[in-house]
Structure 1
Amino acid sequence: MERTNGLLRVLRTNYVASQDEIKQYNWRSVLQTYGYLSPSEMETIQYNSRAVLEYVMLGKENEASLINSITRSRENARAVQDHITKEMWHNLNAYYLLIREPSIRQTIQSGDPITALDALIRHSLLLYGTIDITMSRGEAYSFLNVGRFVERAIIITDVSDIKLKEVNYRLDDELTLPSLRYLLYSLSGYEVYLKTSRGIMTPDTIMKQVFYDESFVHSILYCMSHISRYFK
């Protein structure tokens, strides 16, 4: 579910970016990270935002898709119901039913995809809240959080790589700032950055927040310190 939450934010941010771009927006780096398409298959949809969203969100043949992650989460939760709360199970089950709603596919295909993405993100946040206020702080909770922060660290690395690919890994160019701004959006870190940097945006300070800011919940160092804590 941590992977699901991260992927939703990546898709939302990139879709907004695709609407802001005057030229055609290329989803290639997202498809390389969250898909299993051949180069020729990728070329057919990489400029089609709706086709990309449908493949990455609802493609059952795509092992990395949103619907497959939610389905596996539900199966895992069913197998460990003795170790989680009934509220958590009900929430996951409702999430599974939501992603299978025909209205979600219809909205992605012909409506406003942001509406579908926001509905799923809200449910994701509801799951986090449910876990926080219903799970006892025992071994199961610690095990759950080790997995959560390992996955979050992987997501941060993946999302950073997606955005750095777009600028050919160059951090010494002002043209990198739009991509890095969208990186902060993807990690829910834009407002935090503005508050701590007084609105001055530089590639160096952005990457320091993403990798080394121990008070930022979507930084690598924050994740690693919590993994260590829960192992202890």
Structure 2
Amino acid sequence: MLSRTADHLFWMARYTERAENTARMLDANYQMSLLPQSDEYAELGWRAMLSISELSGVYAAAHQGMKSHDVIEFMSRDLANPSSIVSCLRAARENARAVRGSITTELWETLNTTWLDCQRLLLDGILERDPYEFFEWVKFRSHLSRGVQLGTMVKDDAFYFMRLGTFIERADNTARILDVKFEMLEQRADTSAQSLDYYHWAAVLRSVSGFEVYRKVYRDVITPERVAGLLILNGDWPRSLAASMTEVGQIVERVTNGRSEATSRLAAQLSAELRSARVGDILAGGLHAYLVDFLARVNDLASRVSRDFLVPIAAETEAGAATQSQSQTRAAA
């Protein structure tokens, strides 16, 4: 497969997954904002939302204060924000259009219709009327595109590069959600917010479709340790780090070429470490340090994938706008 074609397919899938993840985070924060709580704690939630995507600096440059309406607008339809839902859906559609001959008609129509309907819904005022309805719609359209992909695509290189983009993006996002939410609990000063712990972790689980799974696995009270165990190590749950990296490792092995030996080795190493890790050891060594190291290694893996299989210059251009402010914010932190 041509590197440029693989590059478009990879980023098409990443942007689709990113739009869904952004909708999930906004939905969780919106639901939390409706609960009785102090203004400080509510604001902390929205700051954490921006911190997950490392867009705090970009937001602060354009907005005064931390109002829920402004954050939802910024993360939903602000085209100046390359990680907003609208920006991601547009980028996914444009990447799909560039490789129209490499995907099925059904998949192209799904992505194109998603982009067109998104504009119509926003013009109709769905964000002002019912943000929850819009977030659910975005999640549904992402599910639909993956279902169409699985149901109509031949399992060739095109299919595998789409799956590779999906699971690298998913692993990155799950790690960020977990890291920021744990840090948010440690930083809060409002001791009365302790009573919101259950709702906090329930919102975290729902943001990754893990609430019902948690109940099925543990059948007990929600604790931060078990949430971390589910999101990091449960290989049977498709949104965990372990499951995502297992998929990445298998896909990289399938598309390997003469210069990707180090990339395959790194993917296999990450997957093996997650399969053998214990949540107690992770927490004892510091969850934040563990997740920061994991994110660095996943970003390194994504860079290696770009170098070995894709179009490095094009990949950097696609990712640059979304990661420039992220890198500066993380470096400052």
Secondary structure of 2:125's aligned partner: helix
* Runs of 4+ that moved beyond 6 A: none
Aligned partner of 1:21 in structure 2 is 36
Aligned partner of 1:193 in structure 2 is 214
Aligned partner of 2:300 in structure 1 is none
Secondary structure of 2:235's aligned partner: coil
Instruction: Output aligned runs, 1:1-232, within 5 Å.
Output: 1-24=16-39, 25-26=42-43, 27-34=46-53, 35=55, 37=57, 40-41=60-61, 44-46=64-66, 48-101=67-120, 103=122, 106-109=125-128, 111-168=129-186, 175=194, 176-232=197-253
Percent of counterpart pairs with the same letter? 26
Distance verdict in 2 for CA 1:207–1:36, change over 3 Å: closer
RMSD: 2.2
Unaligned runs of 5+ in 2: 1-15, 254-333
Secondary structure of 1:216's aligned partner: coil
CA deviation profile, 1:195-220 (whole Å, cap 9, x unmatched):
11012322211101100000011100
Structure 1: distance between partners of 2:126 and 2:166: 29
Looking at CA atoms only, which structure, 1 or 2, has the larger radius of gyration?
Answer: 2
CA deviation profile, 1:130-161 (whole Å, cap 9, x unmatched):
11101111111111111110000011012112
Structure 2: distance between partners of 1:7 and 1:87: 25
Structure 1: distance between partners of 2:177 and 2:236: 19
TM, length-normalised to structure 1 = 0.90
Unaligned runs of 5+ in 1: none
The amino acid across from 1:142 in the alignment is Y
The amino acid across from 1:186 in the alignment is S
Query: Which protein has the bigger helix share?
Result: 2
Secondary structure of 2:247's aligned partner: helix
CA contact (8 A) 2:18 2:83 kept: no
